Structure 1
Amino acid sequence: MPKPADVAATGLRASALTDDLSFLLARANAIALSAGNAALAEHGLKARSYSVLSLAADGAGPSQRELAEFLRLDPSQVVSLVDDLQSRGLVERRPDPADRRANVVIATDAGRSLAAAARDSARSAEERVHAQLSADERQTLTDLLRALAFPDA
């Protein structure tokens, strides 16, 4: 006999809301975020802290403002994330050579090492979440989401 929650979920899947693209994107994001956070937990990270660490480890030397804009976070959230990563010895703030009023965020050796390990865990979680899609479908989805995320590119 189906559980009441299963019956309700089945009925909800027939809702007109499941034709709403924004809802579907939000739901897919919530599912992916949950899986990603679970995979990153073994590294002491969550999706947001991993994103900051990963960008700092890529060598571009982003400023905190650039991180906030790129990740679509409030600057105060980025300050808190960088503070946490810095307290763990994973990133350093250094004066921006182009603007002495700003800081850039640079990953330490330990931060680069952790970012690489966390990237592997995040990719494994992503593969599990998207397992029902073929490789071509995943690439198409990636291309479409990239077009939405970066319309000026």
Structure 2
Amino acid sequence: MRVSASTSENKKPRNEKPRDEAEDLALETDLGWAIRMVSGAFSRGATASVADLPGKARGYLVLVALAGGEPPTQLALAKEVSLDRTVMTYLLDDLEAHELVTRRPDPRDRRARQVLITDTGRTRLGQVRRSLAAAEARLLTDLDDQDAQQLRTLLSRVAQTAQRELIAPDEADC
């Protein structure tokens, strides 16, 4: 005698995966998919915000890195924002030509140069940040303030881990 699917909840077709495994394989739960979707949406929304800034997104990252704290050397700044030092030199040349940053000899090592944000650079950074905040708000519209803050905190922690791995790759991989 056959048992129909409606009378037996314990029997599953042979090709059906257990429910929890199927949920784990869902696209919506895949980290790579989520990062790609969020990154793409943010990138599209942010592109207009940084379009007139020398170096665009890279220029923005440099200005953000310079906005607080002790002026870094050019090399330290390149490491902080994960840019090749040659690329950093050309980017700083462009930012300096637009009077957004300035460079001076490092008082601790006259061979090195410190990079400082100018008042014009701070003003421009404020304008870009307001424009980016609007793009972020559109992207985070389905989150309440607490969830949005938690997302920022968690992403920052993951980004710091990723940055450490870029700077000092796991020696076991060598």
TM-score by length of 2: 0.68
Residue of structure 1 in register with 2:37 after alignment: 27
> Runs of 4 or more off by more than 6 Å in structure 1?
none
Equivalenced residue count is 138
Cα distance in 2 for partners of 1:45, 1:33 equals 15
Residue of structure 2 in register with 1:60 after alignment: 70
The structure in which a higher percent of residues are helix is: 1
Cα distance in 2 for partners of 1:134, 1:21 equals 21
Alignment check: 8 A CA contact 2:53 2:60 kept: no
Cα distance in 2 for partners of 1:23, 1:36 equals 20
* Higher relative contact order (CA closer than 8 Å, sequence separation 6+): 1
Alignment check: 8 A CA contact 1:36 1:46 kept: no
Alignment check: 8 A CA contact 1:89 1:108 kept: yes
Q: Percent identity?
A: 37
Residue 49 (structure 1) aligned to one of 56, 59, 79? 59
Stretches of structure 1 that go unaligned for 5 or more consecutive residues are 1-14
Cα distance in 2 for partners of 1:72, 1:124 equals 26
Residue 111, structure 1, aligned to residue 146, structure 2: no
Q: Which amino acid aligns with 2:73?
A: S
Q: 1:109 and 1:102, CA in 2 relative to 1: closer, same or farther beyond 3 A?
A: same
- What SS does structure 2 have at the residue aligned with 1:131? coil
Q: Which has the larger radius of gyration?
A: 2
Residues 89-133 of structure 1: CA distance to partner in whole angstroms, max 9, x if unpaired?
111111122222211111122112111222211212211121122
Residue 83 (structure 1) aligned to one of 93, 108, 112? 93
TM-score by length of 1: 0.76
Residue 99, structure 1, aligned to residue 109, structure 2: yes
Residues 44-97 of structure 1: CA distance to partner in whole angstroms, max 9, x if unpaired?
662211111222233531222222222222222222221110111111111122
